Structures are given as C-alpha cells and as structure tokens.
Structure 1
Amino acid sequence: MSTDPGQTTPDPEDEHLRAETARRLERAMGELGTAAVARMEERLSWFRAMSAEDRSWVGLVAQSAVAAFVDWFKDPNRGRPAITVEVYGTAPRELTRSVSLQQTVEMVRLVVDTAEARVGELAAPGGEQQLREAMLRYTREVAFSTAKVYARAAEARGAWDARLEALVVDALLHGDGEEGLATWGTALSWSHSPVIVVAGYRPEAQPETTLMDEVRRLARRQGHDVLAGMQGERLIVVLGVNAKVQGAEDPLRVAGTLAGAYAPGPIVVGPPVPDLHSAASSARVAVSGLRAAVAWPDAPRPVLAQDLLPERALAGEDSAGQELVREVYLPLRSAGSPLLETLTVYLEHASSLEATARMLFVHPNTVRYRLGRIADLTGYAPTDGRGSFALRVAVALGRLSGQETTG
C-alpha cells in the first residue's frame, strides 16, 4: 500500500501530549477567561472606562477566544482556525466602534499572555513547547482575523455613511426630516459651524464613488465636516466650517477649496447658517442660484447665491424678488423721491451724469451725490454695470408689487 508523500503521519507521542494538554485546557477554560478579563480590568484604562454593557461584550470576546483556541488545539488538522466566526461572531458590530483596532490587539495580547504565563501547569509534562507553538500560531491567526473584522466594519461604515449623507442632502433640499437632522448629524460625527451649502455640476466621466471620495478628501483636509450628495447632474456639498482654518470666515474661500471636484461651470454658495438643522434654507438658495447662474455667464467661480439675487428673481424665485424689493426698492422709496427719481432717470439715460442732470435741472455733482447715497443705502452702485442691473430689476419688481412708502 503506497503512502502519499505529501501526507505526514502523526507522531503518537505528540498526539498523546496534545490530548492530555487539551483536557487540561478544557478544565481551565473558564478560569482562563475570567483571569484574562481581570487582567484587562487591571491594566487597560480604556477597558475600565467603558460602559458595563461594552465591558461584558469584550469579556465575552475574551472567553470566546480562549474557547476557540481550546477547540482548535484538540484537532490541528482542521487547518486554519475560523477565528472570525468563533471569536467575534457573538459580539455586536457596534463593538468595533467602541473598541479600536489597537485596543483589540492589546486585549488579544493580554489574553495570550495570561495563558502563556500558565503554560507550565496547562501543558502535559513534555508538551510545553507544543502548546507555546500552538499559541503563537493562534495569535497570528487572531491578528489577521481582527484586521479583517475591522476592515469589513470600516467598509460597511463607509457605505452606510454614504447612504446617510445622500439621505440628509435630499432631506435638506426638500425640507423633509428636519427633526431628524440633529440625530443624523451626530451619527456622522458632525461638530462644526457655521454651515454652508455649495451647489455645482458633477463631472460626467467621473464615477460617483470616486467623486464623493474626492469631495470628502478635499473638505476633511481643511478640517471641515462634510456631507455630499448627487441630485441628478448636480453635486451638492454641505460643509460644517472649521472656524480654526485660515479664511474660514469667507464662504467663497472655503468653497473654493472644493472647486476642483466640480465640472466646469457655475458653483454657487448658499448663505451661512448656524447649524445643520438650519441648512435647508441655505441648500434651497444655493440650488436656486445654480439654476439662475446661466443668466450671468461671467459670474465668479464660486459665487455667492446672494450675488445672484437679480437672476434668481427673474427665474421666478419669489423670495429673491421679495428680498430685492425689501432691501432695495423700499429703502429708496422711504428715503424720498429725489433718490428714486434720480436713479430712474440715470438708468433710462444710459448712465450719463450730464443727461440725468439736464433732465432733473440739477448740477451733475448733485446727481453724483445722490448716486453715492443710493449705493450706501442699497449696497448696489448705480455706476457699476452689475449694480445698475440689480437696481433696475429691484425697481421694476417694486413697482410691480405695488409696495407703498413705509416711512
């Protein structure tokens, strides 16, 4: 009868020693697990600081590690031990959030040290080396399996975070789920304020996962909290601004760090709001500004949604039109007829000081003075092309609205 040259015949003496050591290990199994937990309590400050529930789960993992080792030691021909299931299968997935990979390695090392310190009494006489070698191999397998557990947890966490981010962004845009925003923000470790929303278009050729990773990398490199989501062809990013970053007080500068992630074209920044719960208003304004930005081809990139008020109003955004009337037209009406009349004549006569002065029978310096007051009062300079456009739209909307003088 031929013997397979790749198959080794077990040494009867080794098998005898292994069987005797296995019996001793079985008898000491509960004691070893308890001793390992006691040693963790004594040496690991992070373990002592954990909640009672999490400590009990860690203790169960330690007990399972001992039991799995004993079970595997009985029959080394089983091949590679199924550490993942046998050791970690009883613990909840949330434990990987309470215990870091480094802490798990410390825990495993203490469990092994506890058993190694008692090799003399646990091993059958003459089987000490056999037991130590088995412990060494088992420890290596635990290390590999632990890394896999945490890698899978990180992957699942990343996928969950991405889904939750998309849900939050969708809720912000549609004004739904405002009560849950604080809870969602906590789940995503949201901690910074103020909050701004940045809207632009996604690059067509770039896969969504790659794009989202790039956005998060750019934002987190500056220390900002970030949520990102796709809305059709639009890329919406919500930023919790890290106030310690240089330039954090300037929304355009903050948004500019993300410009490389967007497709060519407009990037619109919503107004800063104090927290995530209030971000729906910033999101709606940013998206409205993005729709209207086509009317201002030479707009800066990025541009504030506030700077797109005239375009947003012309595009049908009622709140933008109301703001222009409230912040521009009504103050001019309240200031008295000379300012509004001067502005109207100035705009109708191609922004000519001389022509306006002749129509009003005043000196050009008087016209110049009134235009300066208009700029101070409204924030828009009639002598500037962009300012004159905004003022023209505001005056037209004010007259259409039928607003009366409030002063």
Structure 2
Amino acid sequence: MTARTTGKAAANKPTSTDETEALRLRAATGRRLKAGIGTLATATLQRLDATLPWYRAMQPADRSWVGLVAQAGISSFVEWYRKPAAPLWIVADIFRAAPRELTRAISLQQTLQLVRVVVEVVEERVPDLAKVDDEAALREAVLRFSREVAFAAADVYAQAAEARGSWDARLEALVVDSLVRGESVDALASRTSALGWRSQGEVAVVVGQAPFRPTPQLTDELRRAAQKVAEDALVGIHEDRLIVVLGGSSDFRKSAAALADRFGPTSVVLGPTVATLAEAGRSAAAAVAARKAVAAWPSAPRPVTADELWPERAMAGDLDAQAELINRIYRPLEALGGSLLETVTIYLDCGNSLEATAREMYVHPNTVRYRLRKATETVGWDPTAARESFVIRAALVYGRLAASTGLSTTSNSAS
C-alpha cells in the first residue's frame, strides 16, 4: 500500500471526536424519544383507528391488546436506540406483551400493517424527535428496527401455526377415538367445537384398514383428499383401523369410493348417514361392526355400506343390525297385510320363482309380481334380486324370532 493510499484511508476513517459526537447526538435523540413515548403511542392508536378498518371492527379487549403490542414496539425501539451496542433480541419481547390468542384474532398480514403504521408515525415525527444532524441516523434506525420486527412477527406466527397444528392433530385423534368408543354427545360436541368443524350438513363415517406403518403425512394427505369430496373431514387411526369422518357430502358413497384407494387392501365400510357430527358415533359404531362382519360376504363391493351388511352383522351378534332388519323390513311388510308378507315368504321358499309361487298360492303370476313390486316400494329391498332377497330372508327370520321369543327390536345406537 502506498503512502498516498494510506493517507486517504486515514482521512476517511472516523476520528474519536466524530464517534463521540455521533454518540452524543444519539443520546440526545434517545432522551427525546423516551420523553415522547406517550405521544407516539397515542398518535399510533389514532392512526390505527383512522386507517385500518379491521382494527376498528375488533372487540374492545382485542383492540387493547393490539394497542399494547404497538406501545411495546415503540418502547423497545426507544430502548434499543438509546443503547446502540445492545443486540436486537429485545424485538422478540414485543409480542410477549399480548396473549397467544391474539394470533388468532389478527393475521400476519394485519400485524405487518400495524408495523407499517407505527413506522409511518415515527418517521413523520423524526424532525421533532432528532436534531438536524441526527435525522438521517434515526430514519435508518427506524427502518432497520421495523425490518427486525417484521421478521419477529413472522417467527411468532410460524410458531403459533406449528403449535396449533400439533394441538389440532392431537384433538382430532381424540375426537375420532371418542366416536369409536361411543362417548357422550356432550363431550364430543365440545371437542369438535374447539377443533373448528365447519360443515353444517349430514355426516357419515368411513372405516377401513390402516396401512402397516402409517405416517403423519398419510393422514394429512387423506384429510386434504377428503376435504375435496366433502365440506369437512376428520381423520384418525384407531388400533388397526383408519377412520374418516365426512361432513356435508352430496353423495357419501361416491365420496367414500374416491378415498377407497388410500385405505389398506381389505374392505372399506361406509356407516349410515346421520344429521350432525354430534351423532356421528352411531355411524362409526355401525361401520366398525360391519367391518368385523364383512368377511362373511366375500364379493362385497368396495366401499360397502354398513346397512348392506345387516344380515352378516346380525348373525355376528350385532343387536343394532337385528333391530334394523326387524323394524325396517319385517314390520313394514307385516303392517301391509298378511297376503303381502305371505307372498314374499313363499316366493323366497320357492327359490325366487314367480310360477312356483303362483301355483303355491293359487293366484296369477302377475299378482305375485305386483305384490313383490309393492314389497320393494315399501321396504326398499327387492325380493327378486339375489343379494337383496337374502337381506329380506334374514329380516323374516329375525322378525319371527322377535315375535315368538321376545327378541329386542330396539337399536342400542338409537337416540
């Protein structure tokens, strides 16, 4: 390095006198800032009220917390400016003044709008707060501090989102477990309310085999897929079962079919539709019982509804399925008159033959055909279809048992 270069560098290097003067100016500005904290806070709140509609619409308690955050930001800036050697870690303390719930009351975007308003207010008052020689330094400090506040705000919201996600996942698993265990409606309602269930439509539960090694990514992906075919969804794993609660679908069977490939290789069962999430325990209980009995119907569709498995469930000891067979099929046929119930019985006993039934009853085959059609319209199950005739035959068996032995016809899940 030449002597000329060395001399130029020495000329550009601040002297101790320059540094002392800068510190003196900064200290003087710091005192003015400290004295003006109250004025700055008042001006900031007034500006918030005048320029931010969302702030004006907030509840008084939330407005108070937002004001506290703004005042904490101003105080932190003043404290840092008065001590330039201090690190900017005090920025994180700004958001500790407000409760964690405030991150739910205002968004990150709104928080950044708040920071911008505070910066604008301070910048406008720079000529009043700093001496002429220190105005540029104060403006630069405001911009640097506002940047750090923005980063701190993003970090606070990221942590809140992560914590909320973990809490929601645990609560969701608890809700699904409550459904399967059949806990009280009141307890379930309070938990789903905290979870933020949005759908006001009907609800149905889908149950299938869980993957051998389920991961959080699996349930997240399944939840997102479920929310594409329904208004809302809950996903949980209970023992070896993967359970999806769907809310607000226009066609639950179609929705379940769209999700079937995400379950394990065995059967997928759709529980009956219920009116609200608080009643979803009945749908879950039926789906779980049906999944245990579905092995008795090797050719069952995928997904299969729990109602389609009434006979298998009844034979497996499911009292709800027995009651459904009796109340939904046997009793309505019986109420239409003896001839209709007799025709269906004889038709099934004759191997589903119209001619053989007509000969047995001494009537025309068209009469048998009419009565069978009437039975289908009444109960929704067709005696002439192979699978549905099996369901009706099971209903006749349990109906006669109920009449002769006093078998219960009340569903345990009815409420």
- TM-score tier, shorter chain, comes to 0.7 to 0.9
How far residue 365 of structure 1 moved from its aligned partner, in angstroms, is 4.2
> Residue type of the partner of 2:325?
L
- Aligned partner of 2:26 in structure 1 is 18
What is the number of equivalent residue pairs in this alignment?
A: 389
How far residue 158 of structure 1 moved from its aligned partner, in angstroms, is 1.1
Q: TM-score, normalised by structure 2?
A: 0.86
Query: Secondary structure in 2 aligned to 1:297?
Result: coil
Whole-Å Cα distance in 1 between the matches of residues 387 and 251 of structure 2?
Answer: 21
- Aligned partner of 2:226 in structure 1 is 219
> Residue type of the partner of 2:334?
R
- Aligned partner of 1:3 in structure 2 is none
Q: TM-score, normalised by structure 1?
A: 0.88
Structure 2 residue 69 is the aligned partner of structure 1 residue 61 = yes
Structure 2 residue 171 is the aligned partner of structure 1 residue 164 = yes
- Aligned partner of 1:244 in structure 2 is none
Q: Which residue among 160, 184, 188 is the counterpart of 1:181?
A: 188
> Residue type of the partner of 1:36?
T
- Aligned partner of 1:286 in structure 2 is 287
Query: Secondary structure in 1 aligned to 2:36?
Result: helix
How far residue 222 of structure 1 moved from its aligned partner, in angstroms, is 4.6
How far residue 354 of structure 1 moved from its aligned partner, in angstroms, is 4.0
Query: Secondary structure in 1 aligned to 2:243?
Result: strand
Moved more, 8-17 or 221-230: 8-17
Structure 2 residue 380 is the aligned partner of structure 1 residue 385 = no
Query: Secondary structure in 1 aligned to 2:400?
Result: helix
- Aligned partner of 2:348 in structure 1 is 347
- Deviation track 1:260-281 (CA, whole Å, cap 9, x = no partner) reads 4322232222222222222222
How far residue 303 of structure 1 moved from its aligned partner, in angstroms, is 2.4
- Deviation track 1:335-365 (CA, whole Å, cap 9, x = no partner) reads 4444444434433443334444454455544
Q: How does 1:169-248 map to 2 (within 5 A)?
A: 169-192=176-199, 193-207=201-215, 209-222=216-229, 224-241=231-248, 248=249
Instruction: Indicate how the Cα distance of structure 1 residues 317 and 37 shifts in structure 2: closer, same or farther if over 3 A, else same.
Output: same
- Deviation track 1:44-100 (CA, whole Å, cap 9, x = no partner) reads 11111111111111111011101111122223333343322x101111000000011
- Deviation track 1:145-204 (CA, whole Å, cap 9, x = no partner) reads 111111111111111111222222222233324224333333233232122222222222
How far residue 283 of structure 1 moved from its aligned partner, in angstroms, is 2.0
- Deviation track 1:280-334 (CA, whole Å, cap 9, x = no partner) reads 2222222222222222232222222222222221221111111111222233334
Whole-Å Cα distance in 2 between the matches of residues 288 and 155 of structure 1?
Answer: 36
Whole-Å Cα distance in 1 between the matches of residues 49 and 379 of structure 2?
Answer: 67
Query: Secondary structure in 1 aligned to 2:97?
Result: coil
Contact 2:230 2:247 in 1 (8 A): no
Instruction: Indicate how the Cα distance of structure 1 residues 58 and 152 shifts in structure 2: closer, same or farther if over 3 A, else same.
Output: same
How far residue 223 of structure 1 moved from its aligned partner, in angstroms, is 5.9
Structure with the higher helix share, 1 or 2: 2
- Aligned partner of 1:320 in structure 2 is 321
Q: Which residue among 121, 132, 135 is the counterpart of 1:128?
A: 135
- Deviation track 1:218-266 (CA, whole Å, cap 9, x = no partner) reads 233356122222211112222221xxxxxx4322123333334322232
How far residue 366 of structure 1 moved from its aligned partner, in angstroms, is 4.2
Query: Secondary structure in 1 aligned to 2:244?
Result: strand
Q: Which ranges of structure 1 fall in alignment gaps of 5 or more residues?
A: 1-7, 242-247
Whole-Å Cα distance in 1 between the matches of residues 226 and 298 of structure 2?
Answer: 27
Whole-Å Cα distance in 2 between the matches of residues 403 and 296 of structure 1?
Answer: 28
- Aligned partner of 1:372 in structure 2 is 373
> Residue type of the partner of 2:267?
P
Q: Which residue among 114, 133, 140 is the counterpart of 2:121?
A: 114
> Residue type of the partner of 1:69?
F
Contact 2:208 2:291 in 1 (8 A): yes
Whole-Å Cα distance in 1 between the matches of residues 358 and 274 of structure 2?
Answer: 44
Whole-Å Cα distance in 1 between the matches of residues 270 and 114 of structure 2?
Answer: 48
Structure 2 residue 53 is the aligned partner of structure 1 residue 52 = no
Q: Which residue among 26, 33, 47 is the counterpart of 1:39?
A: 47
- Aligned partner of 1:250 in structure 2 is 251
Whole-Å Cα distance in 2 between the matches of residues 13 and 91 of structure 1?
Answer: 38
Whole-Å Cα distance in 2 between the matches of residues 177 and 131 of structure 1?
Answer: 62
Query: Secondary structure in 2 aligned to 1:230?
Result: strand
> Residue type of the partner of 1:109?
R
Query: Secondary structure in 2 aligned to 1:273?
Result: coil
How far residue 12 of structure 1 moved from its aligned partner, in angstroms, is 2.5
Task: Calculate percent identity across the aligned residue pairs.
Answer: 49
Contact 2:355 2:365 in 1 (8 A): yes
